Structure 1
Amino acid sequence: MLKSFEHVGMTVSNMDRAIRFYCELLGLTLHLRKKMDDGAELAFLDAGGGMLEIVAPANGAKPAMDVPDDTAGLRHLTFLYEDVDHTFARLEMAGVDIKERPRFAYNPEVLEKVAFVRDPDGIIIELAQRKT
C-alpha cells in the first residue's frame, strides 16, 4: 500500500548555490547534507509533502537541457505557494531566470495560477497556486 510521495532526485552543478536557491528563495528546508566517498555531495531538502534529493558530482555538472515535447522525461518541478504573484515578484527581484510570468493555469480543475522560472542549472521550476 502506498504511503506517500517520497522524493525526486536530481543532479546540480554546485551544492551551495542549489541549497541557497531552493532553501532561501523557494522555501524548502535542508534536512540532510553530506559528502560521499567519491567526493560528491548529497542533500535532501524538505518540500513539505516530499523531499528533493540533490547530488553535486565532485567534478561539477553540465547545465540542464529542456525535455522536448516529443521526448519522455521530467519536464519541470512544481512547488505549491499561497500567492504565486508575491513569490514570483520576490524571485524576479533576486535576479532568478524567468521563463514565464504569472498567468491563470490551463488546468483550472487543479490549479488557479502558475509561473515558471529556472533554477541555477536551468531546470524549470513551476510556481503553482490553488484556488482559495
Structure 2
Amino acid sequence: MLIGFEHVGMTVSDMDRAIDFYCGLLGLTLRYRKRNAGGEVAFVDAGGGMLEMVAPDNEVGRFRDVPTSEAGLRHVTLAYDNVDEMIALLQAKGVEIAERPRDAHNKAMISRVAFVRDPDGVLVELIERAADR
C-alpha cells in the first residue's frame, strides 16, 4: 500500500551552492548530507517530499530544458503563501527569474505561479495553492 511521495533525484554541480539555494533561499530543510565514493549526496525536505541532490566529483553541465516532444521532468514545484513576496526576495538575491508572478491557468489547483532557475539552471516553479486546496 502506498505510504506517500518520498523524493525526486537531481544532479547538481556544487553541493554547497545547491544547499544554499534550496535551503537558504527557498526554505527547504537539510535532512542528510554525506560524502561517498564518487561524490556527495544530500536530502532536503520540502514538507511533502524531498529532493535528493547528488554532486558527482566529475564536471556537471548546465540543466537542459526538456522539449515538449520528449518525456521527462520539466520542473520542481514548491508551494508558498505569497509568490509575489518570494519572487521579490529572490530577485533581490540575484536569482534568475524565468517568469514573473501571474495568475495560474489551472485555477482549480493553483492561484498564482512564477518560475525561477536554480544555480544549475533547473526550472523551479513557485505556486500559491487554490483557496479550496
Give the TM-score taking structure 2 as reference length: 0.96
User: How many corresponding residue pairs?
Assistant: 131
Counterpart residue number, 2:3: 3
1: CA distance between counterparts of 2:130 and 2:106?
11
2: CA distance between counterparts of 1:3 and 1:88?
33
* CA shift for structure 1 position 87: 0.6
Within 5 Å, which residues of 2 pair with 1:20-39? 20-38=20-38
Q: Tell me, yes or no, if the aligned pair for 2:13 and 2:61 is still in contact at 8 Å.
A: yes
2: CA distance between counterparts of 1:37 and 1:55?
12
Any idea what the Cα deviations from partners look like across 1:52-102, whole Å, max 9, x if unmatched? 000000123100000011111000000000000011110011000110000
Q: Tell me, yes or no, if the aligned pair for 2:100 and 2:115 is still in contact at 8 Å.
A: yes
1: CA distance between counterparts of 2:33 and 2:105?
37
* CA shift for structure 1 position 131: 3.0
Counterpart residue number, 1:70: 69
Task: Please list every run of 5 or more consecutive structure 2 residues that lacks an aligned counterpart in the other structure.
Answer: none
Give the TM-score taking structure 1 as reference length: 0.97
Any idea what the Cα deviations from partners look like across 1:15-39, whole Å, max 9, x if unmatched? 000000000000000000000122x
Q: Tell me, yes or no, if the aligned pair for 2:80 and 2:128 is still in contact at 8 Å.
A: yes
* CA shift for structure 1 position 45: 0.2
Q: Percent identity?
A: 59
Task: Please list every run of 5 or more consecutive structure 1 residues that lacks an aligned counterpart in the other structure.
Answer: none
Q: Does 1:48 align with 2:52?
A: no
Q: Tell me, yes or no, if the aligned pair for 1:112 and 1:131 is still in contact at 8 Å.
A: yes
2: CA distance between counterparts of 1:76 and 1:21?
15
Counterpart residue number, 1:90: 89
Structural RMSD (CA):
0.7
2: CA distance between counterparts of 1:44 and 1:91?
22
Q: Which residue identity is paired with 1:14?
A: D
